[in-house]
Amino acid sequence: MAPVQSFGVDAPVSPTSQLVATVITCVITVAALIPTLAFCARRRTWWPLLVVVSGTVTFLLEPLYDHLYGLWFFVEGQWNAVVTYGIHVPVWLPIVYVAYYGCLTIFYWYRLERGATMRDLGLYFTISVILAAAFELFYINGVHLYAYQDRQPFMVFNYPLFVAVVNGVPPMLSAIVLFRLVPVLEGWSKLALLGVVPVSFAANSFGSGFLYLAARHSSNDPSMLLLSVTALLAAAGSIGVIWAAGKLAGVGNTSTARASGAVAVG
């Protein structure tokens, strides 16, 4: 079948900028992987590696997100990992997914296992949001490798800030799911963990954001007021997802955390 065609406003990509972005991304990812691997060795367990793989392959959902939210990776001179949905996915993107959606998820799960409270959950989610914004601001303004197209609400330094809240959900939501799922899986059934991060990503990006996405694609020139209101709803829905998931998982319940830690190794 013919690929989906995207028509973003393109720009040339500097090889130097790509090299800088790739090197910095690799350094961050290696720094995140070292404690993750050390944790696996110390606990003599292998399932966190599945989560790292799960977080990494989630990058294949990125092009669908890009189409709907209006993100365009510049094509001219881009070093591509893959081209799908008509989007040229750059080589550094799967690398940053290892750190942000893989290793960060394991860190949050570890904090939950250690007895994090709902207040801690709010703090960790805030960290996710800040990290998501920092990464994107760097790639957009620091090295000029992509841009959000068309008119977007709440733009600050060429970045629609509300999407940081949306993108902050998957590591935290995945960690909450792992908090309850890991203790009940044994042996090869832990392969089910491979689906956790992609499902969390898709569920919130296209779930909490469904009104915004419907408004954005309702016409060639949607109302900015409508976009702003629905963007705020997407952010509020994302926060609500984390709150509801934390409550359902019993975050802050000492007995729940103790049970989770008792069975989590293996």
Q: How far apart are CA 124 and CA 126, in angstroms?
A: 5
What type of residue sits at position 258? R
Given a contact cutoff of 8 angstroms between Cβ atoms, the answer to whether 3 and 84 are in contact is yes
Q: Which of 135, 160, 170 is nearest to 242 (CA)?
A: 170
Q: How far apart are CA 53 and CA 26, in angstroms?
A: 16
pLDDT at 11: 86
Nearest-10 Cα torsion for 238, 243, 244, 247: 160
What angle, rounded to 10 degrees, do the helices at 196-205 and 224-249 form?
A: 140
Q: Which residue has the tokens 């050390």?
A: 38
Distances (CA, A) of 20 to 111, 139, 143, 148: 32, 10, 8, 21
pLDDT at 265: 46
Q: How far apart are CA 207 and CA 175, in angstroms?
A: 18
pLDDT at 86: 86
* Extended beta strands in 15-134, E state: 71-73, 80-84, 87-90
Please compute, for residue 140, the number of CA atoms within 13 A of its CA located in the half-sphere on the CB side: 18
Radius of gyration of the chain (CA): 19
* Bridge partners, 170 (sequence order): none
Q: What share of residues in the chain are helix, strand, coil (percent, to 5)? A: 70, 5, 25
pLDDT at 2: 55
- 132: part of which helix (H) or strand (E)? helix 118-137
Given a contact cutoff of 8 angstroms between Cβ atoms, the answer to whether 165 and 239 are in contact is yes
Q: pLDDT, tens digit, for every residue of 20-32?
A: 999 999 999 999 9
Cα 50 to chain center, whole Å?
16
For the chain, the maximum distance between any two Cα atoms, rounded to a whole number of angstroms, is 56
Q: List, run by run, the mean pLDDT of 10-residue segments along the chain (266 residues).
A: 66 93 97 96 94 97 94 92 91 97 97 95 97 97 93 95 97 97 92 96 96 94 96 98 96 63 46
pLDDT at 237: 97
